[in-house]
Amino acid sequence: MNISKDTAKNKAELLKYFRDRASEFLAEVNGEFGNTEYKKKAKKLNTLLVRARTIIIEIIEQKGKKENWTNKEILECVLMVTYCNYVVMLEVRNSVWPYEYMTFSRRIGELWEPFCKLTFEYPINDLELFVPPLFADVKKQLADEIEEYINGLKLTDEEKGQLIKYYNKVWSLVMSGEIQLELDLHFIFEGKKHVVDFKSGFGSNEKGNTNRLLLVASIYHNLEDNYEPLIFVRASENNNYFNTLKNSGIWSAYSGTETYDELHKYSGFDIRTWITQNINWTEDLDDAFVQHIEANDLTQYLTW
């Protein structure tokens, strides 16, 4: 398959390529696993198809660099390759282990996040990604600041020691484990650091996750680097957990159309328009899978 700027428009060719690859992979896993080992088959097929996609994207990046493509030209090729790969990935998974509503809805959501993040990997706007801080480093920084402050007070050494001891007790009670400060995306835009949590939607049992996100955002707001925590949600309709975060004052939370507007604002690429113009799941998926989707009332989940 020839890779060029036109790859961004060659949906049919890409679908054929990945389906042909999938046929090879299917023959391989059928020889490796028995009929009852469908979970192992699905996992291996997914790994092989991801690798096939990665190879094509690496070629696009190399050719783009050699021929001085713009980020927009590279991104549009990568988006089309990724979408076509997703289509075949779903088809093949269903052929060895048929989807039911829970796994299918979750999978569509799982694929949405990395797809959106591609606009930040090949940004049109001037932005850069950064490595998020480690909680251990944040904790040490705060502890050092408190200890320095206490040591500057007009107290006896014994009193200072007691204050530091009580401070450490509070840390040990509140922070029984390490807190994960790494979110889904971390980028600098117009001199400000942004940290992003992507979500397909908020379920009915999100209390623990909501509390974790509130804690993480509060930590980021207490750091000196002027962080802006953002939540990007795919679903247009959300519940009280989303509203809790949106109204918290420490998260800027967006959903549905608002999410795509924010992605466009920061990355510089209008991914909502690209999705509208290029993604048509029921038309692009093979007939057997479409029949399965319709028979099991799964079409409702094919919404990005």
pLDDT tens, N- to C-terminus, the chain (304 residues): 899 999 999 999 999 999 999 999 999 999 999 989 999 999 999 999 999 999 999 999 999 999 999 999 999 999 999 999 999 999 999 999 999 999 999 999 999 999 999 999 999 999 999 999 998 888 888 888 888 888 899 889 998 888 888 877 776 655 656 688 999 999 999 999 999 999 988 876 788 889 999 999 999 998 888 899 999 999 887 778 999 999 999 999 999 999 999 999 999 999 999 999 999 999 999 999 999 999 999 999 998 9
Please indicate, yes or no, whether residues 47 and 152 belong to a single structural domain of this protein.
no
Please indicate, yes or no, whether residues 258 and 273 belong to a single structural domain of this protein.
no
- The total number of structural domains in the chain stands at 3
Please indicate, yes or no, whether residues 196 and 288 belong to a single structural domain of this protein.
no
| Residue-range definition of the domain harbouring residue 37 | 5-124+269-301
Paired with 186 in beta bridges are 195
The closest alpha carbon to 153, from 141, 167, 170, 139, belongs to 167
Please indicate, yes or no, whether residues 112 and 143 belong to a single structural domain of this protein.
no
Q: What's the pLDDT at 6?
A: 97
The gap from C-alpha 67 to its chain's centroid, in whole angstroms, comes to 30
Pairing of strands 127-129, 185-189: antiparallel
- Give the whole-angstrom CA distance, residue 79 versus residue 199: 20
Q: Are 167 and 177 in contact (CB under 8 A)?
A: no
Please indicate, yes or no, whether residues 110 and 15 belong to a single structural domain of this protein.
yes
Q: Which helix (H) or strand (E) holds 188?
A: strand 185-189
Pairing of strands 192-199, 252-255: unpaired
The residue with tokens 């549009």 is 76
- Cα end-to-end distance, the chain, whole Å: 29
The gap from C-alpha 244 to its chain's centroid, in whole angstroms, comes to 22
Please indicate, yes or no, whether residues 9 and 120 belong to a single structural domain of this protein.
yes
The gap from C-alpha 74 to its chain's centroid, in whole angstroms, comes to 20
- Give the whole-angstrom CA distance, residue 185 versus residue 157: 45
Please indicate, yes or no, whether residues 13 and 115 belong to a single structural domain of this protein.
yes
Please indicate, yes or no, whether residues 243 and 282 belong to a single structural domain of this protein.
no
Please indicate, yes or no, whether residues 201 and 221 belong to a single structural domain of this protein.
yes
Please indicate, yes or no, whether residues 197 and 251 belong to a single structural domain of this protein.
yes
Please indicate, yes or no, whether residues 114 and 220 belong to a single structural domain of this protein.
no
Helix (H, G, I), strand (E, B) or coil at 35: coil
Please indicate, yes or no, whether residues 194 and 254 belong to a single structural domain of this protein.
yes
Q: How many residues does the chain have?
A: 304
